[in-house]
A and B are shown apart, each in its own frame.
Chain A
Amino acid sequence: MTAGGGRVWAGAGRAVFAATAVFALIFPLLAGTYYVRLATGIYMFGLLASAWNLIGGYTGYPDFGGAAYLGIGAYTTGILMVRAHTPFGAALGAGCLLAAVVAVLMGSLLLRLRGHYFAIATLGFLLVLQQLAANLDITGGGSGMNLPVASTFTTFYYWMLGALVLAVAAGWALPRVRVGYALAAIRENQDAAQVLGITPLPFKIIAYAGNALLFGAAGGIYAYWFTFIDPPTVFNVDFTIQAVVMTLFGGPGTAAGPVVGAVILKSLDTVLTNRSVFFHNIFFGALVCVLVIFAPRGVAEIARTRGSLLRAVRAELGASRL
């Protein structure tokens, strides 16, 4: 491609970006309540996928316990609003902060583990928090907790949009700063990174805490939006898995990939779930299987690098099958 072509593309990209931003801002004025809710849901999963991308995509540490931090955000927001009558914004901030602090503490233990061990340990941590929330009094135990009802749904749309923008910005900025270089080195070869003088743990903790903070934000907004939370709904591994699948679908380790994945898959999922909840789970199960077998590096990625999707899929199969 010529340099002129590059400039045209960059200009077109900027125009598309600006148009999308304007459209997202005025969307609630144009669309009905149903579509605003739908868009809020899509933003939420875009947010989760972008958050997971920080630790799973850029750092290469497949975290399966992200919903632990979603739960922390949701419960902190809920408890502060109900018991201390804190305004939503402050409660949400506290939820994000607590999620990040817990992530720093847990991360300094869990991020020493590799591969399967890290993945299952994070999953175990999620189950522990779920059980803890069901046993404690302050969380309302197994019967859950009701939050105050907000005056308008549009609020959540903008909160979720704001958090999503923050998450995408983090994903965009990360590969452009020193921390991002260190994380890329750790992802590609941790031992080699260490030889180059990078101490892996602090960098991994930064990515993990960023992921937790954004999951916490999603949880806090989700709690106020749905006005009811209980341990199995917020400490739900489904949130993490959907975030992983959307990221893999859209392209891990890119800023836009997770959002693209969330928009496509959440829309598809909504169409199917409207027919039956049964389809939601079957759809995700089948999607995960098909995706990892045929396009483990993301549909967008193989389509971009190898031209023909079909040829790329064949090459992918040839590389990983026995």
Chain B
Amino acid sequence: MSVQTQIALQNALNGLLIGGTYATVALGFSLVWGILNVVNLAHGALVMLGAYTTYWLFTLFGVDPFLSLPLTGAALFVFGYCVQRGIINQVMRAPFLITFLLTFGLELLITNIAQAAWTADFRSVTTVYSGRSLSVGPLTLPIVRGASLLIAFVVAILLHVLLTRTRLGTAIRATASDQEAARLMGIPIARVYAITFGIAAASAGVAGGLISLSFPVFPAMGAGYTLIGFVVCVLGGLGSVPGALLGGLLLGLLQTYAASWLGPNYDNIVAFSALILVLLVRPAGLLGRVQRFRG
């Protein structure tokens, strides 16, 4: 195998691995946007909280970061449920600029309170297996990243099953398609919204936990992930689990290849160009339903 092929394959693998993380980040973002019609600018802040939860559980109590993922998810679920129930539900019928600004305000609050509490220092979760990797033929597979990709798939499948095969999932989808009709069927709308946001926060928390294994943890770490969530949703199509998964992997591949051609400092430019291109050419996303996006 030539060196070029080997580099191209390694890039593909790296792209899929980072893409799995993007997909996990985007799942919750897509859920809140698709079901609640809220573009949650605080999503990255939830990812950050998940990363810190994992970090503290590991540093203070020595809990293995993979084992603590359910705990992190549960903690973020409770947080997300309360935020939606107490705050965002107050403006659910307001024009979108209002919910947009509100979630931006929440992002500012959460990030700055985190900074006041935990300082702006970069922290990392370093386990005994952190630096290890497997050799797969000519390729190198860091085991932490490989496991993260696996967990991304597990979370996506769980979420898909929850949305399509359970009573709760049916209630959530019914609320999304017609709020008033769902209310008449006896679905408690305010609670469904809160649970949906809680689930999204939980998956953001899991994403944050996985990210903390490979990247530094600090209060402002989440900002970039909100944009990534958005780009992934646009790429894959809104409100569908397979769409988020596909969009995430695609963005991961795109950024990894772009980084190997242009250098590492152009990731936002690449993501944005992809965003604009898809919005103008195929606004419903690659797997999305047709909606009204353009004017």
Contacts and interface: CB of A to CB of B under 8 A. Distances in A.
Interface stretch (B54-62, B166-174, B253-261, B272-280): B272-280
Contacts of A284: 105, 108
Interface stretch (B88-96, B136-144, B240-248): B88-96
B6 to A, nearest CB: 28
A322 B292 CA distance: 24
A135 B268 CA distance: 12
A246 to B, nearest CB: 12
A149 B85 CA distance: 52
A112 interface: yes
B200 interface: no
Contact of A320 (B39, B93, B97, B104): B93
In this complex, the interface size class of chain B, counting residues with CB under 8 Å from chain A, is: 35 or more
Contact of A131 (B115, B193, B266): B266
Contacts of A248: 101
Contact of A134 (B33, B265, B292): B265
A204 to B, nearest CB: 9
A260 B293 CA distance: 34
A6 interface: no
B112 A320 contact: no
A286 B105 contact: yes
Interface stretch (A17-25, A33-41, A121-129): A121-129
A105 to B, nearest CB: 12
Interface core residue of B93, B101, B189, B292 (most chain A CB under 10 Å): B101
B265 A288 contact: no
A134 B264 CA distance: 12
A14 interface: no
B98 A296 contact: yes
A119 interface: yes
Contact of A282 (B102, B104, B112): B112
A130 B269 CA distance: 10
A128 B269 contact: yes
Given A282-B109, A322-B92, A292 B227 contact: no
A8 interface: no
Contacts of A15: none
12 contacts: A112-B280, A116-B96, A124-B230, A124-B272, A127-B272, A128-B273, A131-B266, A131-B269, A135-B266, A281-B112, A320-B93, A321-B90
B100 A131 contact: no
B165 interface: no
Contact of B101 (A113, A281, A292): A292
A281 B271 contact: no
Given A190-B295, A285-B105, A121 B279 contact: yes
Contacts of B116: 278, 282
Most buried by B among A56, A116, A117: A116
A192 interface: no
B121 to A, nearest CB: 16
Contacts of B276: 109-110, 121, 124
Contacts of B104: 241, 288
A62 interface: yes
Contacts, number: 141
B269 A296 contact: no
Contact of A289 (B87, B227, B271, B272): B87
Contacts of B268: 124, 127-128, 130-131
B106 interface: yes
A150 interface: no
Contacts of A121: 275-276, 279
B188 to A, nearest CB: 10
Contacts of A114: 292-295
A143 B189 CA distance: 51
B101 A288 contact: yes
* Best-buried of B87, B105, B115, B234 by chain A (most CB within 10 Å): B105
Most chain B beta-carbon contacts within 10 A, residue among A124, A248, A287 = A124
Contacts of B294: 112-114
What 4 A-B pairs are tightest by C-beta distance, nearest first?
A288-B105, A285-B108, A285-B109, A320-B94
A124 B275 contact: yes
Contacts of B109: 282, 285-286, 289
A135 B108 contact: no
Nearest to A124: B272
B152 to A, nearest CB: 23
B227 A287 contact: no
B96 A292 contact: no
Interface string A305-322: 000000000000101111
B113 interface: yes
Given A113-B279, A117-B279, A285 B266 contact: no
A140 interface: no
A210 to B, nearest CB: 19
Nearest to A134: B265
A1 to B, nearest CB: 31
Contacts of A296: 91, 94-95, 98
A245 interface: yes
Interface in A273-287: 278, 281-282, 284-287
A84 B93 CA distance: 53
Contacts of A62: 96-97, 100
B275 A109 contact: no
B190 interface: yes
A132 B98 contact: no
Interface string B206-244: 000000000000000000000100110010000000000
